[in-house]
Structure 1
Amino acid sequence: MALDISIFEIINPSRYLSFTIPNPILNPSLSSPLIRIAILDSPIHPTTPSSPSSSSSSPPTPNVAAMFVPKHRESDWLFSTEAGHLQLLLSSSNIQRLILIGQQPIINGPGSHSVYRRPIDSDSLNNLEMTLKPLVIALSPKNYFKNGNVEVPFLSYEDNVISSLVLEKCVGNFVGEMLVEDVEIESSDQGREFRRRLRFKRMPNLIQTEIRIVPKRVFCMDSFEIGGHNVEFSHDLGVLVHVYLVPMVASLTLIGSRIEEHVQVGLRPKALCLGVGGGALVGFLKAQLGFHVVGVEIDEEVLRVAWKYFGLEDGDFIQAFVGDGMEFMAKLARGDGCHEGVGHLDPQFDVIMVDLDSGDLINGVSAPPLEFVRKDVFLAARSILCESGIFVINVIPPSRSFYETLIHDFQEVFPELYEIDVGNGENFVLIARALPTVSFISDCENNFLKKLRLAISGAYMDSIKRI
């Protein structure tokens, strides 16, 4: 059936179509003889004319762009799914139609592992761009050309991934399809750096969990490759590589004296983590800072992945539960601390850390979920904290008003509220506590604070600001 090009003459919000054409550049090294074209129109209408000469009563001129899918990454969810396409479109400034061009994705069979290696040569795309330019113009809306546009810009996608290997794809009851992959990334210190990542298909460009991994046995790093024969990695849980986790841990500065008092009498500080994911934060708190950690994760399959691939251990000082974090806190606040398999759970914690997101394909990722921002949730959290404990939340505000409302709701329950700006233009860490910590231990005598400063960036410890 022939494609009717006329259907692309206007922007149709959220319309997504894909089709294939024969590859116009004959090259025996190509893995597919077909080119896949995918077109997505933004769900968000442009609100202002794109040029000063446009009439306010006329519809704004839509911005259009094309993008080549990186070679050998055609099967990545970011480039082969509508959800990934939408993330690419929304991350490109004011684009109303994004046209993706790449080879036909290769569908891997059950149990197969796909390896990606960035091409060593810079394989020029000029010929393909020139060949497909008439098609790209034909796929652009008529309004795009009314102000004299004669070209459709070609965008390039770049990230720091050198190579990757998919270890497993699976499906969780709550999070849907997910994958675990090992990647080698570019390193600022010119060394070789390897990570293990957990990604969800519903938000393909978001890394849910990331930990550093190191080769177990390597005699020559120059010849080592991800996906190579008998390659094994061990987990390095002593480093937090997700940028917002470091300031979350830095919040412990506010209760450093209390934790030091615990340690001096032989007690472990206790943390409750809502949202375990791959367990990077849970493992760090236990391994580096000596915490007894209780983690709550809503999807049992995510916990299985954490145990199998990310070094999460369920033992004496890490207890992981499947359930809803808000319900879990409410249950503890009511005094019902009995849980199958572990007996009675003491509901008093030194810190509660919340890392829950609300993935919305149109509005992007925000955190915490809207249903978490309730007074009864905050009251439950306060009731299960020790007298001078802290409540720490990773926040990705979808709007300034959301953030201001969240701060107001916190201040109705907690008299002291602090903030750390992560510095990436996206995340903030809010820290609430009911009472200040009173201690006779000075900072210079506090071994816990010394350990904390060695384990994370001291800059975040020094940037805690009271609101």
Structure 2
Amino acid sequence: MALDVRIFENISPSRFISFTIPNPISPLHLLRLAVLDSPVHSTDSSPRVAAILVPKHRETDWIFSTESGHLQLLLNLPGISRLILIGDDRSDSPTVYHRPIDEDNDSEKLEQRLKPLAVALSPKTLTGGEIDDVPFLIFDDDVVSSVALEKSVGPFVGEMLIEDVEIEIDNGVREFRRRLRFKRMPNLVQSDIKIVPRSSSSALNPSPPSLTTTEFRPDLTDLVHPYLAPMVASLSLIGSHIESKPKALCIGVGGGGLLSFLTLQLGFEVTGVEIDPEVLRIARQYFGLEESFARVHVEDGIDFLKRYSSTCCDDDAKYDVLMVDLDSTDPIHGVSAPPIEFVGRDVLLAARNVLVPSGVFVINVIPPSKTFYQELKEEFREVFAELYEIDVGNGENFVLIATVAARDRKNGFNRENLTSAVLVKYIDAIRRI
């Protein structure tokens, strides 16, 4: 049945429509078009529309092939009311991706041929006119190549993908990483660690390492996820009189990179809490988290905090630091952290109660709005003595550090150990708020 383009004349919040058409420059092949209207209501009389050509060979990536991925792309484009994704119609899912070395002009030709269609799929304005042009945006990230290692399903987080990627970092330098992504928020990398070849190149094997020919192992000596180093930098606020083997409680394990680092690099006794047993299995199989590194409870983090808070009676049973890394499970509001239920007054009181008097509560925050962030800080101030902040500098993450008691920063936790493992700039960026 033919698609009636009149259904696109008005913005219908959260409406998602996907269909195929013949490729105008290669008629034997089909293109998949996906049209999503923003869930955010706009009173603008001139709704803005944008289109994105899906990168070649990444058509089945969850970022481009799922409604949740499409939604995250749209929410990262402020002011856009409708986003149109256009890419080859593929049902297969290649396990290996290589960024094309030489871009031909097919994309440019396709864009020019599809502009009239993009305009036809645009809404009429409230004044009765039509949008006469639609900008085609370029999706660009740092992934040079990738290899899917496994897709899995967890009872709480749903579908997951474990992949090895080669990325471009500053000054054209490339690095190998292992990543964990959830299908419900495919544009968000949940866990990210560095991987290195198990054996270096030799005269018998002089070729540089590649994802398809080299066996890799996790490198647990470095923190590459953007906000983990700032979280560790917050340990400079722990009192200097703590025991020689401090205790850390980490709620939200993910790939376990933070837990492994605290144990191996800083000598912490670590307890973890992870609600999804499949995530824990993946952390141990692919991300190097060993049972000897941390004792992990498979439990809801809030339930654990409240239960432990009611049973720990003396400081010997309490923790020097509580670290929370949990994101919201509601993709319609964009990437945000922590879940709103985690910062209720009863939860914050339980968090304070599981910490020693010199302890700190460290939490990764991705605020969905300035109002949310301000209210979050006020909640912390009502329960804790002092509140500090680190701006991660990526435009998304902030690390909040709440202290049980006031302290003198000059007498913090083994600063020399921290500065050897964490960039000094994050320690210097800690500011009281």
> Equivalent residue of 2:357, what SS?
strand
Q: Alignment partner for residue 309 of structure 2, among 333, 348, 368?
A: 333
Aligned to 1:79: 64
- More moved, 211-220 vs 82-91: 211-220
Q: Alignment partner for residue 450 of structure 1, among 406, 409, 416?
A: 416
Structure 2 residue 88 is the aligned partner of structure 1 residue 103: yes
Aligned to 2:348: 378
CA distance in 1, matches of 2:411, 2:334: 44
Aligned to 2:103: 122
CA distance in 2, matches of 1:442, 1:351: 16
Change (3 A) 1:368 1:167: same
Aligned to 1:294: 271
Change (3 A) 1:438 1:404: closer
Change (3 A) 1:386 1:227: same
Task: Confirm or deny: 8 A CA contact 1:272 1:293 kept in the other structure.
Answer: yes
Q: Alignment partner for residue 236 of structure 2, among 249, 253, 258?
A: 253
- More moved, 375-384 vs 76-85: 375-384
Task: Confirm or deny: 8 A CA contact 1:357 1:366 kept in the other structure.
Answer: yes
Q: How does 1:24-43 map to 2 (within 5 A)?
A: 24-26=24-26, 33-43=29-39
Q: How does 1:177-188 map to 2 (within 5 A)?
A: 177-188=159-170
Q: How does 1:351-370 map to 2 (within 5 A)?
A: 351-370=321-340
Aligned length: 428
TM-score (norm 1): 0.87
Task: Confirm or deny: 8 A CA contact 2:320 2:358 kept in the other structure.
Answer: yes
Aligned to 1:208: 190
* Displacement after TM superposition at 1:21 (Å): 1.6
- More moved, 77-86 vs 372-381: 372-381
Change (3 A) 1:183 1:310: same
* Displacement after TM superposition at 1:224 (Å): 3.1
Task: Confirm or deny: 8 A CA contact 2:165 2:178 kept in the other structure.
Answer: yes
For 2:252, the aligned partner's letter is: G
Structure 2 residue 218 is the aligned partner of structure 1 residue 242: no
For 1:13, the aligned partner's letter is: P
Task: Confirm or deny: 8 A CA contact 2:35 2:84 kept in the other structure.
Answer: yes
Cα deviation code 1:422-454 (max 9, x no counterpart): 222222111112224579x967xx8x3111101
> Equivalent residue of 1:283, what SS?
helix
Aligned to 1:94: 79
Task: Confirm or deny: 8 A CA contact 1:78 1:84 kept in the other structure.
Answer: yes
Q: Name the Cα RMSD after superposition.
A: 2.3
Change (3 A) 1:167 1:455: same
- Stretches of structure 1 that go unaligned for 5 or more consecutive residues are 49-59, 338-344
Q: How does 1:90-169 map to 2 (within 5 A)?
A: 90-108=75-93, 114-124=95-105, 125-143=107-125, 149-169=131-151
TM-score (norm 2): 0.93
* Displacement after TM superposition at 1:222 (Å): 5.4
Cα deviation code 1:27-84 (max 9, x no counterpart): 9xxxx82111111111112234xxxxxxxxxxx1111111100000000000001111
Aligned to 1:278: 255
Structure 2 residue 395 is the aligned partner of structure 1 residue 463: no
For 1:45, the aligned partner's letter is: H
CA distance in 2, matches of 1:251, 1:332: 23
Change (3 A) 1:147 1:17: closer
Aligned to 1:54: none
* Identical columns (%): 58
> Equivalent residue of 1:3, what SS?
coil
Task: Confirm or deny: 8 A CA contact 2:239 2:359 kept in the other structure.
Answer: no
CA distance in 1, matches of 2:89, 2:316: 55
- More moved, 282-291 vs 18-27: 18-27
Aligned to 1:312: 289
